[in-house]
Structure 1
Amino acid sequence: MTSPIQKILFGSPGTGKSYSIDKTIIPEVLGIDKNEHPDNIIKTVFHPEYTYGDFMGKLVPITRASKVEYNFYRGHFLQALTQAYKNILPHYKDPITNRASNFRNLSDKDKQLELDKARKTACLKANNVALVIDEINRGNSSAIFGTIFQLLDRDDDGWSSYSVNITKIELMTILESIGVEEKPLANEQFEYKFPGEEKWKKSYLTFQGRVNGLNLNLKEQSIKIPPNLSILCTMNTSDNSIYFMDSAFKRRWDWEFINWDKTKPPKGNYGKEQNGTLDEQEWFDFIKKLNDFIKSNHASIRGIEDKQILENIL
């Protein structure tokens, strides 16, 4: 696991923002092999009709045999979160239920240190997960993220600084997605078993101990973003159909400007075989001068940098 990336790549259309994420950041920085582990990459595109339900989850009616049933649809964020949890879980060794440990005799401070140590060890071994959001400013990001907005603040260890509460159906979906099986008993009791286990268990303390590595609080129904989950976004700076991003939302991201590559001449209509009147170098010089003129007028014309002529849109 590397340090989590929470970044918005912005610039004019065609500069290679999505390409940079797909070909450089995901495979080289995060070490995710999309062929070997395709489940570790979740992609979505924001648009004006995209909602919190699409992002987090929602009940969807399905008709079967003339009867309407409601299934819970996992949104793109919940898919990414549960995949990150799923990658951590096999590596977490709970010090509370570990019979070989002396956990119960430790002070509260030392207990917390042991929990943090076990959680950190598991996260270091876990595979990274990338949530990729294209065109983040084409949707109402404040409404789409909703309470998830609070999770975007990260501590030095990569976990969210603050937790948020979720609904019971969202919590049950997370547990089901990471492979936990449950069956109800009388008096609001239940039995459970984790992936790869055969025996059913009833101890609530043991259950909570097993998910401590995920910073998942069963009683409070609260979650945090783990350090093996990165969120990568693209944004066109002057799209005509965009939503405003407030300062509080913006400050929770790293920002990287992606400019067009001046070392690669655009593939324009400059060859004699195409009846062009400019050779390759003349075309490149023309494009460079035209873009320099466009950028020099950015103070008087808002968003003019988005009107540059680029290689990938010629």
Structure 2
Amino acid sequence: MFEDVMKNIRSILHDTAGIMLENDYDAIMVKELSDSNILKENRPAESSTNQTHIAITGKVNFDFFPYVNIWHYNNSKNSEQEMKSFYILQVPFIINKQNAYYADKQTKLLFLNNDQLIAKGSIKISRPDSAQMELGNTSQSDQNFRLFRKLFFEHDFLIMLKIANKVEYEAFCIKSDDAQKYNLSSVTKFNPKRKQSTIVDIFTVNSELLRDENDKYSVYCEGGFNRILYGPPGTGKSYKIKNIINNHGINNYIDGLDHPNVFRTTLHPEFSYSDFVGQIMPIVKKNGGKTDIIYDFKPKIFTEALKFALSDLNVPVFLILEEMSRANIAAVFGDIFQLLDRDVYGNSEYKINNDLIAEYIFDDSNKKIFIPSNLYIIGTMNTSDQNVYVMDTAMKRRFELEYISATDYIREESGEYKNNYIFSIQENEEDIESVITFDWITLIKSLNKFIVTKEEKGGLSLTEDKQIGQFFIKFKKANENISIKEAEDYNFNQIKGKLIQYLWNDVQKHSYSPHSIFLEDIESFGDLYNLICDKKMIFSSNFMEFYNSSRGF
């Protein structure tokens, strides 16, 4: 019976999402989800239920999961309601990327470069002497399991497979049409292999994530990654970091405000291992009437972030490294480089000995250190920076590299572009009343196109790293503290200073194309600067064709 059911499930998963099951399994559960078992936002309009969990009904199905029997709550004669959640068991579910995208191509489950991720679903008895178990309560399961539940609508089927001899499961969504096609409703809800045994070891219940059974700091949760956001200047890399933080557990994080879970630093050519990890420093201490000098370890940002992450493994911690290419990053990381290899759960694949860090964090210099899965390391790099350090291939391999394009323009909720600015200059030198109006977004769109267009098509034939992002200049808006004139003066000063200088020195000078951004009779930066200060035309007719084309003229 068991093998017949498994054969059917293997066929369904292969046909719907191309999945080839590789593990051995010793129990199967298949459940059709009613409106009460799906998330509120996916329920039909007429649904009146407020249930927040998936109900596993029938005591015959309880053996699929280990569970905790809380006598003070489950004793029907003397049940104490406040004891219901005294123990909540979370079990690990492996979620498959192909299945998730089969169910919802827009899913927010973040698989990154992996084909699977781990979600943790809660398990507990529903009521005293109840024939119902609660699975995946929204307030007692992790974010991944909540996002997994978001894949399901009424009459979709949940398939759960228990990996043989482990407290570890694989979970899949099958849409209602496919479930009907394969007659899933006929599959027994709970189907075990007999004569199997699973040791429920509290130290290794999460897929043997604990490398050392005596190590209370071994990691239980999953998800951490190392990622570098790179692209031209002003593309909103810091804005992207804010979104990453918001989407990984700190919903209220706002740039500019201090948050205890976010550690941020900017690297520079003199930034070293001691600035990153820490070093032994002399400390002066008063001892009665005399002064003693002792030497003690002074931790820096990596060590502080690591200690904070290990102090509570259930909360995310973010280490933000701005401008990574401006420092010798291999020297900065030193032996920490070995920790950057992460396993599928987000923990360091290898632990290392570092006496100073171990003594500071664990009070035991013999402990091995590692990066836990709740510590996210996010760096930024500008591709246009000159005279910077080159990151070696081995280091790059240990980071996910995410390119932030200069041509991705961010809008407000209203649909208007963020950080736009309008200014006017004299179009014709001989006619002082002739004025042309530029807006920032259209200007950078046309500049970015002009920069990469081949010279035979009228452009500069340069690479994307010379392009300009939407936030290359951050414009000010008039408010109660800044007058309209003050905002206008500041914004135009940024155009004539920052933008024009960049275009002249870092873009135009690097092009061998016969075409130019600027008027051909401008022979020096001084000439260019004087013209823009007087708000006179500086752009060539060739470039203006690109600008007018971007405006739709």
CA distance in 1, matches of 2:281, 2:235: 38
Please give the per-residue CA displacement for 1:49-73, whole angstroms capped at 9, x wherever unaligned. 1111111111122345654333321
Is 1:38 the equivalent of 2:184?
A: no
Please give the per-residue CA displacement for 1:254-312, whole angstroms capped at 9, x wherever unaligned. 1111123446374142399xx9933356x6444322211212359x9776623536443
CA distance in 1, matches of 2:346, 2:434: 54
Is 1:9 the equivalent of 2:229?
A: yes
Higher Rg of the two aligned structures: 2
Q: What is the correspondence of 1:1-314 to structure 2 with a 5 Å cutoff?
A: 3-22=223-242, 24-31=243-250, 33-34=252-253, 38-64=259-285, 67-88=292-313, 126-167=314-355, 169-175=356-362, 220-260=366-406, 261-262=408-409, 264=417, 266-270=420-424, 277-280=435-438, 284-296=441-453, 305-308=465-468, 310-313=470-473, 314=495
Contact 2:236 2:470 in 1 (8 A): no
Between structures 1 and 2, the one with greater helix share: 1
* Pair 1:269–1:2, CA change in 2 (3 A): farther
Residue type of the alignment partner of 2:360: T
* Pair 1:304–1:225, CA change in 2 (3 A): same
CA distance in 1, matches of 2:353, 2:303: 14
Report the number of matched residues. Answer: 231
What's the TM-score once normalised by structure 2's chain length? Answer: 0.38
Equivalent residue number for residue 210 of structure 1: none
* Pair 1:286–1:256, CA change in 2 (3 A): same
Q: Could you tell me the percent identity over the aligned residues?
A: 35
Task: Describe the SS at the equivalent of 1:43.
Answer: strand
Contact 1:32 1:128 in 2 (8 A): no
Residue type of the alignment partner of 1:139: A
Equivalent residue number for residue 104 of structure 1: none
Task: Describe the SS at the equivalent of 1:173.
Answer: helix
Contact 2:452 2:462 in 1 (8 A): no
Contact 2:235 2:469 in 1 (8 A): no
CA distance in 1, matches of 2:235, 2:434: 25
Contact 1:58 1:72 in 2 (8 A): yes
Q: Which ranges in structure 2 are unaligned for 5 or more consecutive residues? A: 1-220, 412-416, 427-432, 474-494, 496-553
Q: Which ranges in structure 1 are unaligned for 5 or more consecutive residues? A: 89-125, 177-217
Task: Describe the SS at the equivalent of 1:14.
Answer: coil
1:21 to partner: Cα distance: 0.8
Contact 1:271 1:277 in 2 (8 A): yes
The alignment's C-alpha RMSD in Å is 3.2
Task: Describe the SS at the equivalent of 1:39.
Answer: coil
Please give the per-residue CA displacement for 1:63-94, whole angstroms capped at 9, x wherever unaligned. 45654333321121111111111013xxxxxx
